[in-house]
Structure 1
C-alpha cells in the first residue's frame, strides 16, 4: 500500500510539489479558533458570574488536568481596578488557590489566568464574580490572554517541518538498509536522509525556542533566559532535549549506513534509537495528559512511526527506485515494499482509531468540536489515500509495475500529495484542544450551574453544582470559617434527595482536593427541587450539618 501524486514529467512534478507546499502552508496559517489550550477550567469558587454575600479570602480554580504556573499571570482585579491577589498562587495538581485581600469592597471582580497544561499548552481565560451586587466589571491591562498568532502559526509550521523531516530520514535509511540495489548510487538518498535529520533537528530547536513566547503570551522574539529555563525544565523541554541527543547519536551510525551496507548490530542499535526518538513526540503533547497516558504515548509513537515508514518509503520509490531501477530489480523490490506498506498502513489505521477513541471520547464531539471536525477531515483524506493505495497494490499483484512503472509513479505522486495535506491537518490537530476536554471548559461554554452559601455554627459552606440538570452533575464544596478564612475539614459526607418523588438520600462519593475543598459526581434521574445535606467534621469531635435546596431542570 502506498500513497502517491502523479506528474508525468520532472518539471511538472516540481510545480506540483511547489503548489502542494503553498497549499499546506496556507492551511497552517489559517486563523485559528480562540485558543490552542488543552487543559480547561472545569469549575471555580466563586463560580463564574456568581454573586456572593461577602468577599472571599481566596479564589479557587479547578482545571481538567494538572497545570503549572506562568509567573505573574494570575490576577484578581477589584471593582476599582486595583489588584487584590496576594503573592503567587498555590498550585496543587489541577487546583490553583489564590489568596485575596477581602478589603476590595462590593461590586464585580475580574479573575484572569494563564497557566500551562500537562501537555505543554498555555491555558488562558477570565471570568467575573460579584460581592454584594454586580457593578461595571474592571479591566486587566496586564495581559489580554491571547497567544500571538505569529507564534501559534510558527509552532504549527515547526511541527509540520519536523514530520516532513522524520519521513525524509526514515524512508532513505530503511530502503538503503534493506531494499536498495547494490548497483545504484547511494548519493541521492544519502542527501535526502541528511536533509531529513537536519529538518527534524531544526524543527525541534525552533519548537523549544518558540515555546517560550507561546507560554508567556509574548511575541515571536520574546525569548528570555528565565522563560527558556522554565520551558527546558518541563517535560516538554526534556523530551525535546532528549530528541536532539538521540539524533546526534543516530548521526554517527547513519554515516556508514548511507555509504554502504552495515551489519545487523548497527541496524538494531539504529532501530532502538529511532524507537526512543519517536516516543519524544507523544511525551511532549496530548498523549502524555490523556486519561490513559501509557496507552496514548505508545499508540501515538506507533502512529508516527508507521507514517514515517510508509510515506518515507513512498518518497524513495517516487524519487529514486521507480526512475532508476530496472525491471528485474523492481520485480523483486515492489512486492516486498507493498507488504511493508500494507503493514504500516494497518498499524497507522489501528493506532489512529485508538487515538480518536481516547481524545474524542463521545460521538457527538466529532461534530461539535474543532478537534473532532479535524479528525473527520483527516479520516476523509486518509480514505482517499487508501483508494489510491489499493490501486497501486493491484498493479503490483498483476506484475504491471515492473514492466510499466509509469502508472505506479503517477499513483505514488497522488498518494504523496494527499498525504502531505494529511500532515498539515495533523500539525494543526496537535495544537487544538482535544474534544474530550473542549466541551468541559466553563469559560468556553454556556453551562448551567447552581451556587449558594449556607452557614452552620462552625463554618460556612459554598455549594456549587454544574450543570444542575438531569443526568450527570459535578459538585464542589468549599468550607470557610465564620470570618471567611479557609476552614480545614477532616472528613466530608454528603447526600442528595428528592422528597417530592420519594427518592431518599443518595450518598455522594467525595474526593478532597484541598484542606477545605471537596468534589464529587452524581447522576440525577429526575428534575425537581433536590435537597443536599453536607456534614463536615472539622476536628476529632466537632462537626456540623448544613442543607441546601437545588433546583434541577
Structure 2
C-alpha cells in the first residue's frame, strides 16, 4: 500500500512533470453511456417483468387482459433497448478501432469473432443482445404474453442479457492469478447486475405508472404487492452494489484523502454523492411514501391523500431514474486508479532526473485482515438491508391498521395533504 509521504526504495527516482489525468473526451463517455444504458436497461426491464408476474396474477382471472397488457408494455420497451444495444456496442467498438478519432464500422464488424478473445467477447455482446431482443419481442403481443411460453421467453431473454452485460467485464486473456481475477469479475458482475435490476426496475415502474398502463380498478391490488416485491429486490441490489463498490474502492483507492487529491478520486466522489442521493430518495420511498400509500389502500381509494401520494410516486421514481442515468454518465470518466495517480504524482514531485515515463504502483495484496474486514462489512450490509426491509414492512402494517381504525383515530395519523 502506498502512503503519502513515503517513498519506495526499490529504484532510482527519475524527474518528470506531475502527470496529468484528463477526464477524456465527452464523446467517448457519451458512447459508453449509451452502451451501458441499453444493456443494463434491457436486463432490468426483463427482470422486472419476471418479478411482477406472481403479484399480477393474484389480481384474479378477470384481469388477465390487464396483466398481459402490462407485460406487453415492459416487453416492448425491453426489446427496443436490446435491439439498440447492438448499434451502441458496434459504435463503441468502431470508435475504438478508428485511428483518426472517427468511427470505423468496417473494422469493428470484422473484429467480431476474429479469433482473439477480445473479438469473441465483442461478438458475444452483439449476438446475445440481439438474441435477447428477439426472445422478448414476441411478448409485446398480448396473445403471446398471456401464453405458457412467456416465462421461458423472459428467462431466456434475461440470461442472454446478463451474459451480454458480463462480456464487458470478462477478462480477455488468461489471468496470471485466477483467484484475484475471479473475485474482480464477480465484484463487477454484482455491481452491474445490481444496478441493472435496480435502475431498470425503476424505469419499468415509471413506465407502468404512466396513464393507461393499469386500469383504475386494478391499481390498488396491483401496486401494493408489486412495490413490496420490487422493494425487496431493490434492497438486495443496493447490498450487492455496496459490497462490490467497497471491494473496488479498496482495490483502487488508498484512503479518503485520495477522493480529493486525485482525478480518479474526485470523479468517484461525484459518483458516490449521486449514489447517496439515490439511497436517500429510495429511503423516502421505502419508509415514508410506500407505508402511507399502503395505509390509504387499507382505508379506501377515495381519500384525497392517496391521489397526492400516487402522483408523487411517479415523480420521485422519475428523479431516481434520471440520477441513475447520471451515474452511468459519470462512470466512464473513471480512468486508472487513485492509488496509481497519487503514487506517480509523489514520484514526480521528488524526482531528480528527467524521464518520460513513471512506474506504476503494484496491486494491493490480500491479507488476513482484508478477509476479516471484508467479512464484517458483508455481514453488516446484509443485516442493515434485512432490518430496513422488515422495519418498512412494520411501518406499513401499523399505518394500515391505524387507517382502518375508527374515524376519530385516523385524522391524527393521516392528515390530508
- Calculate the TM-score normalised by the size of structure 1: 0.49
Query: What is the rounded CA distance, in whole Å, between the counterparts of 1:366 and 1:244 in structure 2?
Result: 35
Query: What is the rounded CA distance, in whole Å, between the counterparts of 1:198 and 1:444 in structure 2?
Result: 48
What are the ranges of 5 or more consecutive residues in structure 1 without an aligned counterpart?
A: 1-41, 51-124, 128-145, 452-464, 474-553
Partner of 1:396: 290
Query: What is the rounded CA distance, in whole Å, between the counterparts of 1:153 and 1:448 in structure 2?
Result: 33
Deviations 1:497-533 (A, max 9, x none): xxxxxxxxxxxxxxxxxxxxxxxxxxxxxxxxxxxxx
SS class of match (2:101): coil
Q: 2:75 aligns with which of 190, 195, 210?
A: 190
SS class of match (2:48): helix
Q: Does 1:177 align with 2:64?
A: no
Structure 1 segment 346-357 matched on structure 2, within 5 A: 346-357=239-250
Name the CA shift for 1:201/1:400 in 2 (closer, same or farther; >3 Å). Answer: farther
Query: What is the rounded CA distance, in whole Å, between the counterparts of 1:335 and 1:306 in structure 2?
Result: 17
What is the aligned-residue RMSD (CA, Å)?
A: 4.3
Are 1:240 and 1:280, in contact at CA under 8 Å, matched by a contact in 2?
A: yes
Name the CA shift for 1:443/1:239 in 2 (closer, same or farther; >3 Å). Answer: farther
Which protein has the bigger strand share?
1
Higher alpha-carbon Rg: 1
SS class of match (2:169): helix
Q: 2:166 aligns with which of 260, 272, 279?
A: 279
Structure 1 segment 273-312 matched on structure 2, within 5 A: 273-283=160-170, 292-312=180-200
SS class of match (1:282): coil
Query: What is the rounded CA distance, in whole Å, between the counterparts of 2:241 and 2:47 in structure 1?
Result: 17
Partner of 1:417: 322
Name the CA shift for 1:178/1:363 in 2 (closer, same or farther; >3 Å). Answer: closer
Query: What is the rounded CA distance, in whole Å, between the counterparts of 1:227 and 1:328 in structure 2?
Result: 49
How far the C-alpha of 1:199 sits from its partner, in A, is 2.5
Are 2:274 and 2:323, in contact at CA under 8 Å, matched by a contact in 1?
A: yes
Query: What is the rounded CA distance, in whole Å, between the counterparts of 1:195 and 1:327 in structure 2?
Result: 29
Name the CA shift for 1:388/1:296 in 2 (closer, same or farther; >3 Å). Answer: same
Partner of 2:90: 205
Are 2:170 and 2:185, in contact at CA under 8 Å, matched by a contact in 1?
A: yes
- Calculate the TM-score normalised by the size of structure 2: 0.63
Partner of 2:225: 332
Which protein has the bigger helix share?
2
Are 2:47 and 2:158, in contact at CA under 8 Å, matched by a contact in 1?
A: no
Name the CA shift for 1:466/1:208 in 2 (closer, same or farther; >3 Å). Answer: closer
Are 2:51 and 2:230, in contact at CA under 8 Å, matched by a contact in 1?
A: no
Query: What is the rounded CA distance, in whole Å, between the counterparts of 1:271 and 1:408 in structure 2?
Result: 27
SS class of match (1:220): coil
Query: What is the rounded CA distance, in whole Å, between the counterparts of 1:223 and 1:338 in structure 2?
Result: 42
How far the C-alpha of 1:183 sits from its partner, in A, is 2.9
What are the ranges of 5 or more consecutive residues in structure 2 without an aligned counterpart?
A: 1-7, 57-63, 363-417
Query: What is the rounded CA distance, in whole Å, between the counterparts of 1:378 and 1:147 in structure 2?
Result: 17
Partner of 2:412: none
Name the CA shift for 1:336/1:237 in 2 (closer, same or farther; >3 Å). Answer: same
Deviations 1:347-396 (A, max 9, x none): 11221111111122444332221111111111111111111111111222
How far the C-alpha of 1:303 sits from its partner, in A, is 0.7
Partner of 2:332: 427
Question: For this pair of structures, how many residues does the alignment match?
Answer: 315
Deviations 1:12-51 (A, max 9, x none): xxxxxxxxxxxxxxxxxxxxxxxxxxxxxx9xx997569x
Query: What is the rounded CA distance, in whole Å, between the counterparts of 2:111 and 2:352 in structure 1?
Result: 40
Are 2:35 and 2:85, in contact at CA under 8 Å, matched by a contact in 1?
A: yes
